């Protein structure tokens, strides 16, 4: 058994390094076969991560530039129209505040600054406003900028690209077959259309998921494979956190720190050169094993998530250094 497992780990790494897609049966095995030890699996994923990113870790800071009042009903989201979660709702922050937060992110060493707005999608005024902010941030600080603003078409994506936006975020969240269990106001195809529009406009695509919302292991493989086909350059893997008041409730997610790490390995083998981020819920679900997430993943958030707190930039820096990795900054 030890010999066959050793060759399995090495085959996963070798195939990923040669750009061969991880077969579904292998993906399910790495998630389910308890005879596969975690550390050799992480080491195999690390070989792939190291090829593309060395020991560097990209740290991203999120800014909810607008929060709440969303007409959509994503059952996991505290900003959804169906959520009774007591969050601070506010319209788009003043430009001065957004720019000051961008500067603070830059001073904290963030590789990328991400602006997030709730809602189905931007109207023309909001789109022009966000494009203007992107232009101002890019002119002042050498930092990548990402925007998450809901559904967009190719014309909208092109104007954001022309403003200097690097990347557009729109998460798939789960597999198509499970989507009806987490949202009723839009379809999976709507989400795919936005990602295709962003890519067609020349924007990098950032798209990830939330694991632990009742999906199957097969669903996890399917999302990882769909993101491979979409050539997502950035994949945030969030771990479900129940926020009281949300429609989805406290699903029995079966997430353990080890399962979370195996899921990150699955995403790395299927998306060898994507920026893979151990995202929201990292602190709560990975707990003391969080530093091991750096073996498959090369990116993290710091300073909290949309409606949940997280580790400070200082704590994240310490974790990165203690684990023998390097905090990466954009080259000026
Ligand atoms: S995930 Fe986005 S679209 Fe869905 S309810 Fe939350 S803010 Fe609205």
pLDDT tens for the chain, 332 residues long, are: 456 898 999 999 999 999 999 999 999 999 999 999 999 999 999 999 999 999 999 988 778 888 888 888 889 888 888 888 888 888 889 999 999 999 988 888 888 888 999 889 999 999 999 999 999 999 999 989 999 999 999 999 999 999 999 999 999 999 999 999 999 999 999 999 999 999 999 999 999 999 999 999 999 999 999 999 999 999 999 999 988 888 888 876 789 999 999 999 999 999 999 999 999 999 899 999 999 999 999 999 876 656 666 677 888 899 999 999 998 876 55
* 74 counts as catalytic: yes
What letter would DSSP give residue 22? Answer: P
Mention every residue, 6+ apart, whose C-beta is less than 8 A from residue 176: 188, 222, 226
Q: Residue 246: which of 115, 130, 88, 77 has the closest Cα?
A: 77
Q: Is the CB of 149 within 6 Å of ligand 1?
A: no
Determine the Cα–Cα distance for residues 27 and 17; give it in Å rounded to an integer: 16
Strand partners, 275: 234
* 265 counts as catalytic: no
Determine the Cα–Cα distance for residues 219 and 174; give it in Å rounded to an integer: 7
Distance 69 CA to ligand 1 centre (A): 9
* 302 counts as catalytic: no
pLDDT at residue 332, rounded to an integer: 56
pLDDT at residue 331, rounded to an integer: 57
pLDDT at residue 66, rounded to an integer: 85
**Ligand 1 pocket: which of 69, 75, 79, 91 to mutate (most atoms within 8 A of CB):** 79
pLDDT at residue 252, rounded to an integer: 61
Q: Which domain holds residue 130?
A: 2-328
* 206 counts as catalytic: yes
pLDDT at residue 306, rounded to an integer: 60
Q: Residue 140's domain is classified under what CATH number?
A: 3.20.20.70
**Ligand 1 pocket: which of 62, 70, 185 to mutate (most atoms within 8 A of CB):** 70
pLDDT at residue 303, rounded to an integer: 64
Domains contained in the chain, number: 1
Residue 148 contacts residue 115 (beta carbons within 8 Å): yes
pLDDT at residue 67, rounded to an integer: 85
Determine the Cα–Cα distance for residues 47 and 169; give it in Å rounded to an integer: 27
Determine the Cα–Cα distance for residues 191 and 232; give it in Å rounded to an integer: 13
pLDDT at residue 305, rounded to an integer: 59
The ligand 1 atom nearest the CA atom of 183:
4
Secondary structure (DSSP) of 279-299: -TTHHHHHGGGGGGGGTT--E
């Amino acid at each position: 058994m030890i010999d066959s497992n050793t060759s399995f780990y090495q085959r996963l790494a070798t195939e990923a390094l040669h750009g061969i897609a991880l077969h579904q049966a292998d993906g399910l095995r790495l998630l389910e076969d308890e005879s596969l030890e975690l550390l050799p699996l992480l080491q195999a994923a690390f070989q792939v991560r190291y090829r593309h990113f060395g020991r560097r870790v990209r740290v991203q800071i999120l800014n909810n530039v607008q929060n709440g009042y969303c007409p959509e009903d994503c059952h996991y989201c505290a900003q959804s129209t169906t959520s009774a979660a007591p969050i601070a709702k506010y319209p788009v922050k003043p430009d001065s505040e957004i720019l000051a937060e961008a500067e603070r992110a830059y001073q904290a060493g963030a590789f990328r600054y991400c602006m997030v707005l709730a809602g189905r999608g931007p109207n023309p005024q909001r789109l022009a406003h966000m494009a203007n902010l992107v232009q101002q941030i890019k002119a002042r600080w050498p930092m990548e900028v990402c925007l998450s603003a809901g559904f967009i078409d190719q014309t909208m994506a092109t104007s954001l690209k022309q403003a200097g936006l690097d990347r557009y975020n729109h998460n798939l969240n789960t597999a198509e077959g499970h989507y009806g269990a987490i949202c009723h106001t839009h379809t999976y195809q709507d989400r795919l259309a936005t990602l295709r529009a962003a890519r067609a406009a020349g924007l990098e695509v950032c798209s990830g998921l939330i694991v632990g919302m009742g999906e199957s292991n097969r669903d996890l493989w399917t999302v990882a494979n769909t993101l491979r086909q979409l050539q997502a350059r950035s994949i945030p893997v969030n771990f479900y956190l129940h926020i009281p008041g949300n429609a989805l409730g406290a699903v029995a997610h079966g997430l353990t720190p080890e399962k979370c790490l195996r899921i990150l390995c699955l995403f790395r083998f299927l998306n060898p050169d994507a920026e893979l981020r151990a995202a929201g819920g990292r602190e709560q679900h990975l707990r003391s094993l969080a530093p091991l997430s750096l073996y498959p993943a090369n990116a993290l958030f710091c300073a909290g998530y949309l409606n949940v707190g997280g580790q400070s930039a200082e704590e994240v820096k310490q974790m990165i250094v203690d684990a023998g990795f390097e905090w990466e900054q954009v080259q000026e």
